[in-house]
Structures are given as structure tokens and as C-alpha cells.
Amino acid sequence: MRIEEHYHRYPRLITASIAWLTALLVVLALLNLGATLLRGLWDVYGRDETLIGAVPGLRPLADWIASGPRTHATSLLNLLPTLLAPLAWAAVALLAALVLRNAFPAVRTSSTGLLVEFAGSWLPVPWENLTALKVTGDLAGERFVVLAETGTHTLTSWHRLYSLFYNLGTRPGFYITSSISDFDQLIKTMLAESYRVSRAIEGLHEVQLREDARSPLFRLLLSPGSFFSRSAVDDAQPAPAPLPGGPLRAVYPTRISALLVGVTALLAAGTLVSYLGYWVRFLALMLPAVRSLPPFSWTYGDTGYVELFNAFRTRAVPLLGVADRPDLPAPWWLLVAAHLMLLLAIPLLLWLLNLLPSLEARADGLAVRNRLNGRWRLLPWQRVQAFKATELSAESSILLLQSRGGPGSRLTSLFYDGSLAPGILITSAIGFFQPLLAQALGRLALLEQAGGAPILQQEARSQLLWLTLRRRPALEALVASARADETSRQLSLSRLRAAAAPMAALALLPALLLLASGVLADRPPTPGLLAGAIGLWLFGMLEWPLVALVSVLLDEQSGGGEEDFRAVVLYPGSQFPRLLPLSGALLLQIIGLPVLPVLAWIGAIVWAYWLASGLFEALYDWRGSQAILGGLLPVSWQLLLLIGFLIAAR
């Protein structure tokens, strides 16, 4: 039996985006390597000023390269350690480019098997060598990632990385996503041909779709709501049954607790390294005898430290710094910044570690387990103020239990809905969720019936979490709610005031990033830092009227205009999920991890594209190039804001 050959490929927008992004990553890594090598060679052999002066425009470029960090190497042997980090970044960039560019290959099907694209060529995969199809879907069941595993010697060794990223597997495989052309037909063909071949070859088992073999990584990327939801696999894991009338203990699956513990441990390690780095720089300034020893010698990569070392070769740098030179490091401020960093980072790390704690429902209250020391802290039912719910789907919900004091965190409530009462976050991924919820609701209902204040608030939905985890239906609901009020087409002071609050919060985080980079630096902050932060905040606020009004003009020019100024009211709230990556960037900036805050900001910019394009699709029914243009409006403004931040923070 022969089947018709089919060619399945991804949209050009996806393949071109991956190609350009990986190319940019490699170019930046190679430029960094080249600049470091040039600075080292100039230190060893000197610069050819005649050649630099003879080529127009070369001198400003050479001066810019020379202004970067340098170790003032005296020989090629001394230069080699300086090149290790740029070489490592270049190797990582090349590996990432190889893996990402071939992660989503085009696929050809025929009666003999598959042809899988890899590095510009085609690799044959006979039907009998296809061993498994593992599926991970989003919460709505609309987007999927399939790992097609093959025999050991069918694909290249590089293809083992895709199984490793999927679920720590070791067999070669390749990804198929629902974005590929004729996705359903491709999966049906693979299953049908596998069944046909298994009937013809004795001992060969047909391939089945394994929906139980989900990938934690792709569950988180496709749909965070799915990652934080209870699955059939979780329910199948053994758990101690609660005793009748006894306390009901509920814990989260291993994937969630391991994620929180692992991320917190990595950030804590980064905090420790950053704190030790402050002391290394302080001791290098105060003790001339250790400056030539690692890790103190690593400070020679900063021109400010080199200038101080040259000026104070045999004695310590003044504790309060050099008078009239506020641009140079000050030893006393290094110690202030180190302990200020700890004062800010440790509470945030503890909050992250206990974001989703284990719970135990008792007759006298709800016990909350501290993940750091393992102790349980009781919250009496009488102290519960509010019980709020955000329903994502029939199987997925997020609850917030607020109280007067107790083990909750005000930061949790602030992220949930902007309130400040201590709160405990509970998701439907926790074990025994339904019995736990029923017991809590029963206890709280008795308090209400006894004459207490209303506690249950099922309509108190978190706009941030709803937009984050269910972007499309949340945006459609926002637009429908605005259209239900005809007066929302016109601007009013009350509506502008309500829309300004979320935009002010969004614009505040880049300003806080600039403040953190300046306050936690190695020199005391200047009044100009505060002025720069205010300017950055005002520039971020301008995104709101500019993007919204440009979208209104574009809609009128394309024959619309029925919505009038609704976009002005809806835009700030629709961008609310950007708070999460920007908050992550702020935490990374406080800890002092290089590059990562900028990457988190870039993630927020990418999210801004999807949020804006989704809003304009729901509001104006834009499709194709119009939706792309609408999504690029905030991206362009955010890129300008990011460039301004990088210039101000340098």
C-alpha cells in the first residue's frame, strides 16, 4: 500500500524569527569575543594608530572597543584566561543556534517512512524505527508539542538533546508542534503507518499517542495554567488517604515543588556569589598585597578599579572614596550595597520558596507549612478575611485566602489583585484539592451564618493571573465587558484614572530597575539617578496614549472606527501580565546577575507583542499583517525604553 507523499512545514514567520534571533545571538557572541581579543592584542602589541587614522570612521570604533573591560595583559599567555568567558559564550551561542534552528524541522511523509530536515539535509526515519509519540498540550487543548522518538541509530546524537529537554530522556527524537501545516493529518499518517508496519513485521509494536508522557518544560511554556493544574498522572500517584474526621493534608506535585525549590536555590547561589563579589572588590581596594591574586585580580577588568590601583599602588584606597571623583568606586559604599542587596533579596527569595505551600485543614484552622524549616503555622478560621477565586477552566482554579496577620504574604495579595492583606495562594494542582476546598468553604460558611462579615468572594477574579494563564478568553471578555457599556467609547476622567493605575505600575518597574542598578553599584548614587528613574517612568507612561491612539487611527483608516476610544481604556489592563517578567528582572537586578535582567525584559517585550495583537484582534477584528502591526506598536516603544535604560545604567 502506497500513501501520497506530503510535505509539512512551519509558517515562514516562525522559521524566519528563529533564524534571525539565533543569528543575532551568534553575531553578538562573536562580536564580544572579537572585541575582547582586540583589546588583549592591543595591550600586548599596542595599537597601530597610523592605520586607525587612515581609515575614516575607524577611530571612534576603536576607541569604543578600547573603553570596555580589560586586564592589561602583558603576554599572550596572560591573555588566555581573559578569552575563556567570551569563548564559552560563543560556544553556547553556537550550540543554541544549532539546537533551536533544527528544533522544529520540516517533515516529509511517504510509504517507506519520514524525511526529517536537519542542518539543510534530510534524515530518513523508516516507519519501523518510530518508537513513541509523546504529547504535551495547553490548558485549552488548542496547541500541542509532540516528541517523536526513534530508534537509537536512526537520527544524529544531537537529536538526543530534544528528548533531554522534553522530559530528561536519552533517545533521539524531534519535535512536531500544532503550528506545522496539516498537523492533524501528519499525526494520523504516522499512527496509521506505524499500525500497518506493526502488522507486517512480527514483534513490532505500533506507536501510540502517549498523553501521559507530558513535558514539564513545554507544559510551562505552552500554558502555565496547565503546568499548575492537576493531571491524571498526578492523581495516579499514591498519597496517604486522610483519616475520617482527622486533618486533611494537601501537598503539591513534585514538578511544582521541585521548580520552586530549584529556582530559589539557584537564585540563592547567585545572591551568595554576588555578596562575596562585593567583599572581593572591597578587599582589593583596601589591601594592595592581594590585588595580584585571584579572585581579587579579576577586578582589573573594570577601568575604574584600574585607575584606583594605579593611583594607590602601595596603600589602600580611602574608605570614603576619592574626593571630587564620584564616578570611581568607594569602598564604604561596597559594604553598604552588599548588605542592602541581602536585605532586599532574602525576603524575596523566602517569598518565592513559600509561594505555594503545603496545607493541612484542621478543625481549628488551616495549617501552612514553611518549606524552609518544615514547621507548620496555624491560621485560625476566625481570622480569615476573604476567600477569592479565579477560575481558569472547569479543572483549573487559583484561590487566594486572606487573613488578619498569620502566615500569608502581603506580596502575594499584591500580585493577585493589588490588595495588601496577607494572603496564601492555592491552586487546583494541590493534592486533595476538592476535599480541601469543601472543608474550607464549610468552615467559612458557618462563620458567615453566625453573623460574621462576608468572606467568600467567588467573583474576585485576579486580572493578572487570568490574562497570564488564559490570554485569549481573558482579552475577549475584557472587550465584551467594554462593549456592554456604550459610554466606554468616549473618554472620561474616571475611566482614564482607572486605566492609569495599571499603566503606572507597568512603567514603575523599569524605573525601579534603574534605581536598583544605581543604588546597588560600587559607588554612592547621585541625585541624577532619581531624576533618570522619574524620566524613565514618564517615558514608559507615554506608551499608553501613543499605542492606544495610533491603534484608533489605524482602525479608522482601515474602514473601522466603531470602537472610538475604547482602546485607550482597555490597553493598560491588557498589558498587565508584563508585570511578571519585569518583576523577575527586578529580582535578578537586585541579586546582581549579569545579562539576565535584560533577557527577562526582552521576554516582557515579546509578551507585550502577543498581548497587544490579541487585544486588537478581539477589539478591531484585525488579522494577518494588521495584527502583527498592532503587536509591534508596544514592542517598538519598549525597545526604545530598554535602550534608554541600558544607556542610563552604563
Reply yes or no on whether the pLDDT at 96 is more than 60.
Answer: yes
Q: Please compute the mean of the pLDDT values over residues 217-221 and round it to a whole number.
A: 82
pLDDT at 377 over 90: yes
Q: Exposure of 42 by Cβ count < 10 A (0-12 exposed, 13-18 middle, 19+ buried)?
A: middle
At residue 97, does pLDDT exceed 80? yes
458, pLDDT greater than 90: no
68, pLDDT greater than 80 = no
pLDDT at 245 over 60: no
Q: Which comes out higher in pLDDT, residue 139 or 97?
A: 97
Report the alpha-carbon distance of residue 378 to residue 335 in Å, rounded.
Answer: 39
Query: What is the distance between the alpha carbons of residues 58 and 65, in angstroms, rounded to a whole number?
Result: 11
pLDDT at 545 over 60: yes
CA 296, 302, 308, 312 torsion-angle sign = positive
pLDDT, greater one: 290 or 56: 290
Region 634-642: mean pLDDT is 94
Range 227-231 average pLDDT = 65
| Contact predicate 69/300, CB 8 Å | no
Highest mean pLDDT among 288-297, 457-466, 634-643: 634-643
pLDDT class of 542 with cuts at 50, 70, 90: very high
Q: What is the mean pLDDT of the chain?
A: 88
DSSP state of 474: H
Q: Average pLDDT in the 97-110 region?
A: 91
Tens digit of pLDDT for each residue in 463-506?
Answer: 999 999 888 889 999 999 988 888 888 888 888 998 999 999 99
Q: How far apart are CA 398 and CA 389, in angstroms?
A: 6
pLDDT, one tens digit per residue, over 546-598 is 999 999 999 888 877 788 889 999 999 999 999 999 999 999 999 999 889 99
| Predicted local confidence at residue 60, as pLDDT | 82
**Do residues 68 and 127 make contact, with C-beta atoms less than 8 angstroms apart?**
no
Q: What does the alpha-carbon distance between residue 93 and residue 87 come to, in Å, rounded to a whole number?
A: 10
pLDDT, position 234:
55
396 or 276: whose pLDDT is higher?
A: 276
More confident residue, 177 or 80: 177
- Residue 301 predicted with pLDDT over 80: no
Q: Which domains does the chain have, with CATH numbers?
A: 13-98 (no CATH), 107-222 (2.30.29), 248-252+356-465 (2.30.29), 256-353 (no CATH), 470-649 (no CATH)
Cα 482 → chain centroid: 30
CA-wise closest residue to 258 among 227, 236, 285, 223:
227
More reliable by pLDDT, 289 or 459: 289
Bigger pLDDT: 586 or 441?
A: 586
pLDDT (mean) for 349-357 = 95
What pLDDT was estimated at residue 270? Answer: 96
Q: Residue 350 has which C-alpha cell? A: 523566602
Task: Give residue 10's pLDDT.
Answer: 92
Residue 363 φ/ψ, nearest 5 degrees:
-65, -30
Cα–Cα distance for residue pair 334/331, rounded to 1 Å: 5
Average pLDDT value for residue range 284-290: 94
User: What confidence category does residue 644 fall into, taking pLDDT thresholds of 50, 70 and 90?
Assistant: very high
Q: Is residue 237 very low, low, confident or very high in pLDDT (cuts 50, 70, 90)?
A: low
- The DSSP secondary structure of 9-73, one letter per residue, reads ---HHHHHHHHHHHHHHHHHHHHHHHHHHHHHHHHHH---HHHHHHSTTHHHHHHHHHTS-----
Q: What is the pLDDT of residue 529?
A: 93
What percent of the chain has pLDDT above 70? Answer: 95
